[in-house]
Each structure stands twice: as C-alpha cells, then as structure tokens.
Amino acid sequence: MSDLFRSLSWVLFLWIGFATGEAAGLVIYRFGGEALDPPPEASSEGVEFIQLSWTDLDPSLGGETVELDIDAAIRAQKRDPTFNIAPDVEEKGGSHVRPNVNGQVWDGDESTVWLADRYLCAEFEAYNLLCIDDFGTPGTANIFLGSRYLIDRIRVKSGLDDPGKIVGSLRVFMSPLLPTMRITFNPPPFAPWIVEVRDNREQILDIPIPPHEQVEFVQVTVGEHNEDWEVHEIEIYAKGFVEQATYISNILDFGQPMAWGDLRWSGRQDPKARVLIQSRSGQDDDPNLFWRFTGRGGEKIPVSRTTYADLAGAEKAGIGYDHANWTFWSAPYAFADSSGTPIASLSPRRYLQLKIDFLPQDDDGGQMDFLEVRASPPVATQLVGEIWPVEVTVGQPQQFTYVMRPTIGVGSSGFDRLEVATAARLGSVTQVRIGDEPVDYAAEVAEPHRVVVSLPRLTAQDSGALVEVIFQAEVLRYGSAFSARVWDSTQPLEVPQSVQEGDATPNYEDNRVWVATKAKHQGVLQMGRKPVVLTPNGDGHNDTVGLEYRLIELTGRSWVAVAVWDLSGRQVRQVYAGLDGVGAYERVWDGRNESGRLVPPGLYLYRVSVEADHQTVQQAGILHVVY
C-alpha cells in the first residue's frame, strides 16, 4: 500500500466519522485487529466504529514508528545477526569514541588500517609512563554504540595485505554504560575483559561473546607485541531484540471535546519484557510548538509544522512542547488491565494520541494485536474534585469527603451517577450533599475499592453546585489516590466522564486527590511542596533534578534515605542513603531506574526518610517525568 493511499485512507476514516457534524454518541477507534468482528456496541444506534490498520500512519498527523515490526500486529524488531552495527552507530546516537585514535577500524572500509606498532606496556609502566606504541598510540579501539545491545560476536580483520601482520592476541571489554574516559591522556585498558584471544593466526577472526547483560560500550585491546600488526576492521554483530521500539498513533480528531472512556487491547507481554501503553490529550491539532529565528538578535516567532520543516537549519529556533494545550504522556497503563481501563488523560478534550513502547529483555519481546479507544460527548463541561483530609494515620478507619464542582453547559445532558475508586479499603457512604444540602442517594455498587452512588440528576441549572460524598475508608499505604467518574444512567452506551484533580472548594487547601500517611516527629524534616519536573531528553535542560530537603532540630547525624517511587508503591530508584546532620541538602536523580534505564514518563513520588530518635520520619513530594 502506498504512503499516499494510506494518508487518503486516514482522511477518509475521519470524514466518515465526523462528516455529519459533532459526534452524537459513543465513538470507538480500533487500531489493528481487522480480522476480528466489530465490538458488540457497534451495531447500536448512534455508535460510530472506526477500524484502522497499524500501518495507517501519517507523520504530518504525528504518526511515527521506531524500530518496530508491523503486520497484523506490532512488535519490537529483532537484530539482524548478519549486520555489522559498528559503522552506523552515529545514526543511533552513538560515536566512535576518540575517532582520531584507531577509529578507522570501525568505518567499514578495509583499506584504512590501524597500524599497531611495537607495543610493550611493561617497559612504560616501569617508569610510570603511559602505555602507547612507538607511534604514541594506545593499544585500544573504543566505540559507544548509542543503544544497548546483546553482542553475539566480534569479527577482527587483520593482516589482510600481509599475513605476517595478523593480530596475535587481543582482549574485549564491554560495559552497560559509557565509562568516563580521559581525553587528554591515553588511559590504560579497562578491565575485567569478557573474552581474551591468544596465539591467533586467522586473518578473519570471529570471536563468540559469552552470555552477558546488554551493553553500550565496547573496547578492543591488542595484546603486547614486538612487531607490526595491521588491524583493518573490527566488526560487531548483535542478536536479540532492539533495546526499545515505539508506536505513536496519528492524533485522533473527534471534532469536538469528548469524555474519554476505556482503553482495551489484546496482546502479549513476555515475562521479562515490558509493554507500555500511554495516552495524551490536547485542545489543538499539534502538541509541539515550532519556532523560527527572526534575525533580530535572539528573537523568535512561532510557525507551523510545515513551515518549520521548510526552514534552513540556521533559521530553526527549536521545537518546544505546548504545555498550555496538551497534557504530558500519561503514566503507563497496567498491561493486565487489557479488558478495559479508564483513559487517564485530561478530558473533555478534542484530540487524543496513543503511544506503545516495547522494552524487550533477552529473548522476551511482547506483541500488540489491537488497541481500542472509546469516547463520547461529555455530560459536563468541566469536573473538578479533591479529597479531604489529605493526611491520615495508616491502617485506621477515617471519614473522608470527596468534593466535586461541576460546570455544566446548556447543551450537556448532565449526570445522575458518581463513582469513587481507590486502592484504599472503602467503607460505607454516610451522606451526600449538593449545594450544602443533604440529598437522597443510594449506593448501587459497594465494593472494597469502588462505590457507585445514584444522585438526583444535575443539569445546567446546577452548574457550580458543590457535590460532596462522605464515606469511610482505611488507607493502607502512602500516596493512595481517590478517582471519580460521573455519567448519565439513561445513556448506558456512553462513557463515564472522569473528574480532574483541582480546586473544587476554598475550604480545603491542598487541591489534590491522593492521601499521605502521618509520621511522627515531622519537625526534624522539611520539604517544599512545589512539584518537581524532570525532562531527561539529553538536551542539557532539566536532564537531572535536585531532590531537596532540610533537616532541623537533630542532636547529631541521622540516617537519611532518598528514593523515587511510582504510584503503584514500587521503589524505582534509591537516590541516596547516608548520614546527614542539620542543614539543607540536594540529592540529584537522573531519571534512571536501578537498572540504568530511563523511567517511563508519568507521575512519581520521591520520599525522604529520616531515622530520628528511634522513629522514622517520612515526607514525600510530587515528581513529574516528561519527554
């Protein structure tokens, strides 16, 4: 299928879905799964079902794939074990480290040679001198691969013009991270090496690499010798999956602001791999801002994506993210929730985009067969909610109030059902108030972690009225969140509309929907309340973040631990652990987990714990990771 036909198909799908005007009811998009029957709702009146292929991608609409295999399903690519990755590492963000020092062995050109002259390190080390040959060149060749690979074999070509100049011995060192290297001087070879070759007599030597973790740096060191050796090429061959593969959908335009329903999918997440599904929503058709230099100093002006693409390099002033109109990528959805999980991105919004990342490990990769998204016109223009209290004693029953303030337009249907869901243990609903007045209600669903309450219908005339649901709950862990959704029970096919965290009432200060747990002796630890943003894009701006805290009223040094956690309660990274005294501190985190990988974008908590007077004092802050 040609790219032009795919683009036309995509436009046709949008035209079919919205040519008659704004969406009147439930809209279902399905990516992939063309051989499957439409969902049962598709046959109902007022339901739009739009089937798309995984290949229906248009870069002008934000569609993109990176190292992905696409057919009826999508999955991460596998490495070609016959392809030499060394010459093209710069295309992957790598480099021929110190290319002026033996870098010709990586260029794919056998006519260029590293002449490894007489190389006897022992003579130099005896006088504390650098280990170099008679030409002043070290006996190492270094390469940064730009991504992590499982290396299958390394091929060394030497003495092709003169068999008397074959490399007789060598060592291979590999590392999952690029080591710090001195540029001015010639450092000694790294150790320990993963393989050593002695008494080689082959002009073309294939070296199998033993099992190892994924690496991004390789160093080949020739052995000590007293004659001339010529190294024509060092080739690197990888196996297994790519480190990461990505599918980014076209931006879906629903023609009007919509409430997001559930995501559904079918696929496979292999035991060692991760498949991350994320979403973001917007108020216009592009999440990026494109800037052009005007030529007057550093002045720049916004331009369209098309105009930016046509600019000369010197005119391009950079691309930024449109924070005002687009949300960041959501935290990844739990893959086990494939039968349906609410879309977390802000709504009502007109535009939605989806992203799937495959993070293979070893021989485990994963696969996505289809992905469905549901949306329908909102029952309210805006829904803002918060929880109170926001700090409780862990494991003890507590009365909570969920407060919501709806903005309902004249054209909106309104709602008569409200759901509260949480990881905490829910008790009974004791009261519902609308506009400070108690109203009749019924708890239609009462489950350990979810309750659904029927309310008197709220319509446009109730816009701005405060809705309060009072209930009992027992918080079992720090950071438990309370989410809420509302819907119109007379429209069973349409999706519930999520309530967004915010300032629903001036009576409560924190404007949040998650709850902290109390800790004793909090007077010794102080932290700021302002959320921290980390953007580890490698552009030098906000690539690391300082996690700050202040210790006061300590009689001596105390053990302090700083860690980053995701919202499921899993520790992502131990940032610091040590003894601190009274004072202000900043601990730097680079956005990586314990395995050295960048964490997915989303909301995280960073927690500071202090062992003070045989008590543990803890506080936490909010940390946004965005790309």
- Residues 434 and 455: their CA atoms lie apart, in Å, by 9
Q: In this structure, what CATH number is given to the domain that contains residue 403? A: 2.60.40.740
Q: Which residue bears the tokens 């002009």?
A: 203
The one-letter amino acid code at 534 reads L
pLDDT at 22: 63
Q: In this structure, what CATH number is given to the domain that contains residue 614? A: 2.60.40.4070
Q: Are 342 and 485 in contact (CB under 8 A)?
A: yes
What are the CA-CA distances from residue 27 to residues 371, 383, 447 (Å)?
14, 21, 29
pLDDT at 187: 63
Q: Are residues 367 and 388 in the same domain?
A: no
Q: Are residues 408 and 550 in the same domain?
A: no
Q: Are residues 508 and 386 in the same domain?
A: yes
Q: Are residues 494 and 403 in the same domain?
A: yes
Neighbours of 425 (CB within 10 A): 15
Q: Which token pair is 454?
A: 């029927």
Number of domains into which the chain is organized = 4
- Residues 177 and 303: their CA atoms lie apart, in Å, by 39
pLDDT at 131: 62
Dihedral in degrees, nearest 10, Cα atoms 411, 382, 284, 33: -90
Query: Is residue 403 situated within a structural domain?
Result: yes
Q: Is residue 15 predicted with pLDDT exceeding 70?
A: no
Query: Is residue 69 situated within a structural domain?
Result: yes
Query: Is residue 295 situated within a structural domain?
Result: no
- Residues 260 and 424: their CA atoms lie apart, in Å, by 24
The one-letter amino acid code at 203 reads Q
Final residue of a domain: which of 454, 488, 517? Answer: 517
Q: Are residues 401 and 423 in the same domain?
A: yes
Q: Which of 273, 242, 263 is nearest to 353 (CA)?
A: 263
Query: Is residue 535 situated within a structural domain?
Result: yes
Q: Are residues 421 and 282 in the same domain?
A: no
Q: How far apart are the two ends of the chain, measured CA to CA in Å?
A: 32
The burial of 296, by beta-carbon neighbours within 10 Å (0-12 exposed, 13-18 middle, 19 or more buried), is given as exposed
Q: Are 386 and 481 in contact (CB under 8 A)?
A: no
263-273 tens-digit pLDDT: 999 999 999 99
Q: Which token pair is 383?
A: 């829904």
Q: Which token pair is 473?
A: 């709950």
Strand segments, DSSP code E, in 490-537 are: 497-498, 500-501, 514-517, 525-526, 532-534
pLDDT band, very low/low/confident/very high, at 48 (cuts 50, 70, 90): very high
Three-state SS at 91: helix
Strand segments, DSSP code E, in 503-557 are: 514-517, 525-526, 532-534, 545-551
pLDDT at 271: 92
Greatest alpha-carbon pair distance for the chain in Å reads 97
The rounded Cα 353 to chain-centroid distance in angstroms is: 15
List, in sequence order, every residue forming a beta bridge with 236; answer none if it has no partner.
Answer: 154
- Residues 238 and 448: their CA atoms lie apart, in Å, by 49
**Predicted model pTM:** 0.73
120-148 tens-digit pLDDT: 665 555 544 456 666 667 778 889 998 88
Kindly state the average pLDDT of the residues 371-378. Answer: 97
Q: Which of 626, 447, 422 is nearest to 514 (CA)?
A: 422
Q: Are residues 342 and 472 in the same domain?
A: no
pLDDT band, very low/low/confident/very high, at 12 (cuts 50, 70, 90): very low
pLDDT at 352: 98
308-329 tens-digit pLDDT: 989 998 899 999 999 999 999 9
SS (H, E, C) 106-173: HCCCCCCCEEECCECHHHHHCCCCCCCCCCCCCCEEEEEEEEEEEEEEEEEEECCCCHHHCCCCEEEE
- 215 φ, ψ (degrees, to nearest 5): -130, 160
Q: Are 421 and 483 in contact (CB under 8 A)?
A: yes
- Residues 611 and 284: their CA atoms lie apart, in Å, by 49
Q: Domain residues for 541?
A: 522-625
Pairing relation of β-strands 391-392 and 170-175? Answer: unpaired
Ramachandran class of 27: left when φ > 0, alpha when ψ lies in -120 to 50, beta otherwise = beta
